[in-house]
Structure formats: structure tokens, C-alpha cells
Amino acid sequence: MKIVFSARQKGWSRTLVLSALLVLCPLASAASGTAEGADTELVTAQDLFDEVIYELALNYNGPSQLRAQELRERFLPQLRRVCAAETVCHSEAAYGLVNQMLLALEDDHTYFLTPQEMDYMSALTVGGDTTRSFGMWWRRLEGWGAVITEVLPGTPADLAGLRPGDLMTHLGQLPLDGEWGMAKLFAAARSARTAELTFERHGRVRTASLAGTLVETPPVSLDMLDDRTALIRLRTFDSIGVAQDVHNTLRRAELLGATRAVLDLRGNPGGLVTETMLATGALTQPAPLREVTRISTELYSYDRGRYLTGGQAETGTGTRVFKPQRFTGPLAVLVDTDSASGAEFMTRDLLVRPETVVLGETTAGLADTSSHLILLDDGSALWVTAAQIQSQSGQVLGSRVQPDVPAPRDDAAWVRTGEDPQLAAALRELGKLR
């Protein structure tokens, strides 16, 4: 079972995520036009339509009672009208119709992604693959530019002196206050050419020169904020070994003297249920989960570093951690509207952990389903609800997780003060625990 999705076909070697960032920074460039590994042969609108219908019939297990054949009968006449005047009706002509068809399911977890959106997502994923980038994350701050939210050590951004909280305002002479500027900034990060960035720090205007280079983004990282406080960033669960990294990182934090920790799950889009459950076991006992499809029900659980299906330990790769850790000190957990799926499942378990406080924003809303990403022949993709997730007793789970302490995102304050407001709130709340 994969809590977010699997995308291991047509040359893709790993899961691709971060769809929430498409809302924050929509792609407006024609970067490559197709996702990596997509077929280069002509794909017609009819081909794409048939492929979507086939995949829905094979994989959809969401709440909608509509079946793929009903969708085909309803929307095929519309497709024929769309293509009636075309000598060759390319797949792009069907994109709008495919979106309409998926909207008819009334399932927010099932939707269509264009090749451009897939290309954008692939460049933003983390978890072990090497991608050309500046080595930093940013978010669009409407009307201002782009605020840097994280800089990886030793990367071009770090070496150029950029820091979290810096406000990027221009790429060369191009303002970064709109979608076009964001798209060009994204393209520049993927290029080996030197880019000139103008940014502000505490009101002072500065410049930096940097070029994208191959950067490997770790799914888990550790920073000691002081002699006893560890900051652990857990960026994704989308690759085998993430859980082992979590256990190892917590062990290392304790060896460095950490007695309390902040776990940052902001922007974590989920990933593999095995990694999610095994990683959660480093902090608390995960609650068993039932995966329910139209044809089967499976129960998944955790026991002393092992992942169990139906009460039996799995033996495949990525189904256990060695030297399992259990950190029991005070814990503050940060989540936001981009914390999805696996991150929401982990957070739900941590809400009932002793000496724990969850802060931030209401999560994305994928805490009750399992979804798969299916790559289509023209480089587009279908994100499909593959199963419903329930408690061990069959209780329906909420789709979102509410934090104990609301701490809204305030990027303007971050730019103004140079301090991450949500992290500062987490440290204040952590100080109130034991």
C-alpha cells in the first residue's frame, strides 16, 4: 500500500510529489512540455481519453459510484465534437474534457496533471535523487517576490550567502512578483547558466550570482538549535530508507545531547505507507490502518521496527528498520496546508503522544485515502484514489488534521524579522512541556 502514490513506469525511478506547491507557484513556462520518460510518438486525444478510461476502470476505488464505462458513454460524444474539425486531434485537445470527466466523480483526490505540471513536480521532489537546482526552497509572496524558506548546506544558494527569510525580488531585471517571474526563476534553477538574483534582507538590498548544480536533497536532516533541542526536517516518505534515516537521525540527536525536538513536517506530501509507519514508530506506536478497496481489505501495523500486513511481518525490502529507536522526550510538530497523506497519518498518531504539541495549519486533506499517480503516454498523469483508509475497527478517518495550536503561515513577518514565525512558536510551546 502506498499512501500517496507509485510512479515506477516509463523510466521513472521514484515517486513524484508536491502537488500542493503547484497552487503556491503555478508553472507558466513551456519548460520541456513533457515529463521525463514520456513517449515521443504522437498521442491523439482519442488515445488519451481511452487510456484515462482504462486506468480509472482498473485503479479507481474512491467514493464515487460512477463507473468508467458510464463516464465513457457520457463524454465520448463530446470528444468527437472537439476533434471533428481536426485532421489530427492531438492529446492536448482532450485535457479540458478529461478534467470535466474527473470533476464528475466529485472526488477531490482524483484529478489530472498536464505534462508541464508533471515536469514542475519532478524538479521539486526530494528523497535521494539528484536534480539540478540552486539548493533552496522558496514560496511566492504575492506582490513582493519569493521568500526563501530553506537553504541546503554546501549548495549554490548557501555558497552565495542566501538565507531563509531572504526576499528575492528580481532575476536579472525581471521582477519576481508574478507567475511569469516564478516560472523563470524555476527555469533558472534548473540551468547551469549563472543567474543574477536581487534580494532583500532586513530591508537592505543585496545581490547574488549563482548557477544551478546537481543537488541531492536528503529526505531527513538534523540541526541542533541549542545544546538540547534538535530540529528534524522530514521532507517526504517517498523512498525506501526514509524510516531508517529517521531512526538513525533521532539516535544521533540523542548522542549529541538532545532531550527535546521539533519535527518539521511542513510541505511533506507523504509517500510510502511502509516508510510512514516505520518512521512513526521512532516517535510513538502507530495506530493500525485498514486499506479498503472494492475487492479487498488489508490491515497494516507496526511492531518493534517491523511492518506487518494482517498481523504478519513483511520480509521484503523496506519493511523493517534495524536498531529501532523510540524518542520519548518533549516534541513539537509543525504542519501546514501542504502537509499531506503520510505526513497527516503520522501527525494524527503524534496528536495522542505524551509530551507532544502539534502546531501550524490545518493539513492538506488526504488523511483518509490512498492515492496512486499513473503516468500517461503523452507525459500527463492521472492522480487516482485507489483505496479508503480506516481505523482498525473500520471507523472512517477525518480527511484533515487540526493542530493543537494554530500558527498561521506569515511569510511577511519572516521577511521583516528574519525569523521563521512558525518555528519560533514551536520553540515557545516546546518550552512549556516538561
pLDDT level of residue 120 (50, 70, 90 thresholds): low
Q: Are 278 and 404 within one domain?
A: yes
Q: Please report whether residue 381 resides in a domain.
A: no
**C-alpha cell recorded at residue 266:** 511542513
Do 329 and 191 belong to one domain? no
Rounded CA separation 346/287 (Å): 9
- Does residue 48 lie in a domain region? no
Number of domains in the chain: 2
Domain membership of residue 162 as a residue range: 129-216
pLDDT confidence bin for 208, thresholds 50/70/90:
very high
Question: What integer pLDDT is reported at residue 130 of this predicted model?
Answer: 66
Residues 420 and 281 in one domain: yes
Strand partners of residue 333:
263, 358
Taking residues 33-41, report their average pLDDT.
46
Q: Read off the CATH number of the domain in which 133 is found.
A: 2.30.42.10
Cell of 127: 528523497
Is residue 10 in some structural domain? Answer: no
Regarding whether 308 and 351 lie in a shared domain, the answer is yes
**Residue 424 within a domain:** yes
Is the predicted pLDDT of residue 108 greater than 90, yes or no? no
Sequence letter at residue 309: T
| Band of pLDDT at residue 15, cut at 50, 70 and 90 | very low
105 domain residue, yes or no: no
pLDDT digits (tens, 9 = 90+) for 369-417: 888 889 999 999 999 999 999 999 999 899 999 999 999 999 999 999 9
286 and 227 within one domain: yes
pTM: 0.83
pLDDT at 109: 85
Q: Which of 171, 194, 216 finishes a domain?
A: 216
φ/ψ region of 202 (left if φ > 0, alpha if ψ in -120 to 50, else beta) reads left
Residue 93 placed within a domain: no
- Is residue 241 classed exposed, middle or buried when 0-12, 13-18 and 19+ CB atoms within 10 A define those classes? middle
Measured in degrees and rounded to the nearest 5, phi and psi for residue 6 equal: -115, 140
**Structural domain includes residue 38:** no
**345 and 199 share one domain:** no
CATH number of the domain encompassing residue 308: 3.90.226.10
Q: What is residue 41's predicted lDDT score, i.e. its pLDDT?
A: 79
**Of 160, 184, 216, which residue constitutes the final position of a domain?**
216
Q: Of 129 and 293, which is predicted with more confidence?
A: 293
| In a shared domain, residues 146 and 290 | no
Q: Express each pLDDT in 323-351 by its tens digit.
A: 999 999 999 999 999 999 999 999 999 99
Residues 226 and 361 grouped into a single domain:
yes
Residues 224 and 133 occupy one common structural domain: no
Do 212 and 329 lie in one domain? The reply is no
Q: Which of 1-5, 72-76, 129-133, 370-374 shows the lowest per-residue confidence on average (mean pLDDT)?
A: 1-5
